[in-house]
Amino acid sequence: MSNTPALPAPLPELSARMKALQPSAIIKVANAAREMKEAGEKVMSLSIGVPGFLPPAHVYEAAHAAVDQDSGDYLAGRGSAALVKAFVASMKAKGFEYAENEVCAQVGGKGALFNLLLALVNDGDEVVVPAPYWASYPEMVKLAGGVPVCPTADAQHGYKLTAAQLEAAISGKTKAVLFNNPSNPTGMLYHPDEVAAIAAVLAKHPGVWIISDDIYDELVFEGGVGEAKRAAQLMDSHPELRERLIIVQSVSKTYGMPGWRVGMVAAPKVVVDALLGLTSQSFTNLPAVTMAAAAAALSGPQDFLAEQKARLVKQRDEVLAALEKAGLPCPKPEGAFYVFPQVKGCFGKTTAGGAVVADDVSFCQLLLREEKVACVPGGAFGDAGAIRISYAGKPEELTTALAGVVRFVAGMK
């Protein structure tokens, strides 16, 4: 008998789906920054998309009241009556009429998008995801068995897809098109005429679902919004799109509530029913406390938003000035709270710390190491020549972090 201890049996394999999965680069950078902070390092995070403010007091009051009234029961998968009513009314205020059976709650906008793709996409179906895109879109499409098709809008064209590019990307296999206005990661806002041109293309393809990720639609700044106080919507110019248009909303960004995880969908009833079916076999319902808070946010006074938008515009201008100083080209965003500067010009250069910047990933790694500033590599969003900066955080921290970015680039040879 051999004295060698028996090797433990290998674990059973994870699914093929998991082998193909690319975990979120945004969450990876955010976790690395958090760990450095916990280890006592002074890290400034410009990585994850947190809006940088807390919701108004009435939101917390509603959450406390929900705790006091808690019955401990399972709740409606569609969402509480108050949340459904508040969401329908908030959509109406934006000019969109939806019945209560055409809306439902989901676990954040992210959970909504994930379940929507599961509900719509068959193996091998194509989903058009204009690049630069929010990092999770292509991964979600792949998890649903679909194939992301990513026409690219480059910096020279303001990171905005043209109608002709969209037309060329749609094929006989296209099942859905994702549209996000204003955009994460670029902050670019499609103006009403540009949205109408995209809508005109979509109107020609009746076999295609349209997923409109509108979670930043109220975070729009000067210009580009026409009469409405929100970003232009595909339905504004082409109301006939409503029958295959799916709107994703969330309280995360507009109300300063990303951790509360409340997203909402407005869509044709058949799609909402499919989501409710998935909900009934997955998370069942959102917690009463978060639904009460979200209902209060949607139905309460909205005046806090003007102040937050003014702060965001100020911070956006500060970032743009710093990027200009650093010589990093960047189109001027008109919404959300991201900028997407090009850093290609730094590739091949040596930093003050003596390391070579090979690509977007090493740019971000070295920036974190040498200046303790966390940003996300652009490759995660479909443009490896850029980085994404989320600028909505604390103003003092932003100023210090931007000084670090300028010093980092100026120190390169």
Ligand X SMILES: Cc1ncc(COP(=O)(O)O)c(C=O)c1O
- Nearest distance, CB of residue 263 and ligand X, angstroms: 5
Distance CA 227, CA 225 (A): 6
- Answer whether 356's CB lies under 8 Å from 348's CB: yes
> Does position 250 bind ligand X by CB under 6 A?
yes
# of chain residues touching ligand X (CB under 6 A): 13
- Nearest distance, CB of residue 219 and ligand X, angstroms: 11
> Does position 181 bind ligand X by CB under 6 A?
no
> Does position 184 bind ligand X by CB under 6 A?
yes
> Does position 47 bind ligand X by CB under 6 A?
no
Nearer to ligand X, 263 or 333 (CB): 263
- Answer whether 337's CB lies under 8 Å from 310's CB: no
Nearer to ligand X, 343 or 376 (CB): 376
Strand-by-strand arrangement of the 174-180 sheet: 103-107, 262-266, 245-250, 209-213, 174-180, 126-128, 147-149
Q: Which of 188, 215, 364, 406 binds ligand X (CB under 6 A)?
A: 215
**Binding pattern to ligand X, positions 157-176, x when CB under 6 A?**
--------------------
- Phi, psi for residue 45 in degrees, rounded to 5: -100, 120
- Nearest distance, CB of residue 212 and ligand X, angstroms: 11
Q: 140, exposed or middle or buried, with CB in 10 Å at 0-12, 13-18, 19+?
A: buried
AA letter at 288:
A
Instruction: Looking at residues 106 to 145 of the shown chain, list those that interact with ligand X (rule: CB under 6 A).
Output: 108-110, 134
Per-residue tokens: 175: 């099942």
- Answer whether 388's CB lies under 8 Å from 378's CB: yes
> Does position 390 bind ligand X by CB under 6 A?
no
> Does position 388 bind ligand X by CB under 6 A?
no
Which residue in this structure is represented by tokens 């939806």?
98
- Nearest distance, CB of residue 98 and ligand X, angstroms: 18
Nearer to ligand X, 80 or 183 (CB): 183
- Answer whether 385's CB lies under 8 Å from 301's CB: no
> Does position 213 bind ligand X by CB under 6 A?
yes
- Nearest distance, CB of residue 323 and ligand X, angstroms: 21
Kindly provide the b/e burial profile for residues 344-362, where b requires at least 16 CB atoms within 10 angstroms of the residue's own CB.
Answer: bebeeeebeeeeebebbbb
Q: Which of 47, 115, 180, 186 binds ligand X (CB under 6 A)?
A: 180
Distance CA 269, CA 276 (A): 10
Identify which range of 105-113, 158-166, 300-308, 315-323 contacts ligand X by CB under 6 A: 105-113
Distance CA 131, CA 148 (A): 10
Identify which range of 102-110, 219-227, 233-241, 339-347 contacts ligand X by CB under 6 A: 102-110
- Answer whether 96's CB lies under 8 Å from 87's CB: no
> Does position 263 bind ligand X by CB under 6 A?
yes
Scanning 55-191, the segments in alpha helix (DSSP H) are: 57-68, 81-93, 108-120, 136-143, 163-169
- From the CB of residue 199, how many other CB atoms can be counted at a distance below 10 Å? 23
Nearer to ligand X, 120 or 412 (CB): 120
Nearer to ligand X, 98 or 260 (CB): 260
Distance CA 346, CA 353 (A): 14
AA letter at 160:
K
Nearer to ligand X, 258 or 382 (CB): 258
Nearer to ligand X, 186 or 342 (CB): 186
Distance CA 304, CA 59 (A): 12
3-state secondary structure 327-347: CCCCCCCCECCEECCECHHHC
Nearer to ligand X, 184 or 342 (CB): 184
Identify which range of 104-112, 188-196, 307-315, 391-399 contacts ligand X by CB under 6 A: 104-112
- Answer whether 252's CB lies under 8 Å from 89's CB: no
> Does position 252 bind ligand X by CB under 6 A?
yes
> Does position 51 bind ligand X by CB under 6 A?
no
Question: Which residue's CB comes closest to ligand X?
Answer: 108
- Nearest distance, CB of residue 24 and ligand X, angstroms: 10
Nearer to ligand X, 135 or 357 (CB): 135
Instruction: Looking at residues 271 to 330 of the shown chain, list those that interact with ligand X (rule: CB under 6 A).
Output: none
Q: Which of 25, 44, 46, 49 binds ligand X (CB under 6 A)?
A: 49
Q: 336, exposed or middle or buried, with CB in 10 Å at 0-12, 13-18, 19+?
A: buried
Q: Name the residues that contact ligand X, by CB under 6 A.
A: 49, 108-110, 134, 180, 184, 213, 215, 250, 252, 258, 263
